[in-house]
Amino acid sequence: MIMLCKACGTSFEATDASPAQCKICEDERQFVPVTGQAWIGVDRLSASHSNKWQKHEPYLLSLKTVPNFAINQRAFILRTPEGNILWDCIANLDDATKTLISALGGLKAIAISHPHYYTTMQDWAAEFHAPIYLHASDSEWIMRDSPWITLWEGDTLTLATGVSIIRLGGHFAGGSVLHRAQDGGILLAGDILQVTPGADAVSFMWSYPNMLPLPAATIKDITRRLSAVKFSKLYGAFEGQNITENADDIVRRSGEKYIACLG
- pLDDT value at position 129? 98
- pLDDT value at position 105? 98
240 pLDDT more than 80: yes
31 pLDDT more than 90: yes
**pLDDT for 174-208, tens place per residue?**
999 999 999 999 999 999 999 999 999 999 999 99
- pLDDT value at position 263? 86
- pLDDT value at position 19? 83
What percentage of the chain has pLDDT greater than the value 70? 100
Q: What is the DSSP letter of 87?
A: E
- Please list, in sequence order, all residues whose beta carbon lies within 8 angstroms of the beta carbon of residue 30, skipping any fewer than 6 positions away: 7, 8, 24, 116, 207, 209
**pLDDT for 52-90, tens place per residue?**
999 999 999 999 999 999 999 999 999 999 999 999 999
Q: How far apart are CA 80 and CA 163, in angstroms?
A: 9
- pLDDT value at position 106? 98
Q: Is residue 141 classed as helix, strand or coil in its secondary structure?
A: helix
158 pLDDT more than 90: yes
- Please list, in sequence order, all residues whose beta carbon lies within 8 angstroms of the beta carbon of residue 218, skipping any fewer than 6 positions away: 169, 170, 204
124 pLDDT more than 90: yes
CA distances from 59 to 44, 71, 92, 104, 218 (A): 32, 25, 22, 11, 32
Half-sphere exposure of 208 (CA within 13 A, CB side): 17
* Strands 233-236 vs 186-190: parallel, antiparallel or unpaired: parallel
Beta bridge partners of 78: 60, 85
Confidence of residue 14 (pLDDT cuts 50, 70, 90): confident
Q: How far apart are CA 238 and CA 228, in angstroms?
A: 25
29 pLDDT more than 80: yes
**Does the predicted TM-score (pTM) go above 0.85?**
yes
**70 and 94 Cβ atoms separated by less than 8 Å:** no
For the beta carbon of residue 21, count every other beta carbon within 10 angstroms.
12
Between 216-226 and 247-262, two packed helices, what is the crossing angle to 10 degrees?
160
18 pLDDT more than 80: no
- pLDDT value at position 101? 98
Phi, psi dihedral angles at 76 (to 5 degrees)? -130, 145
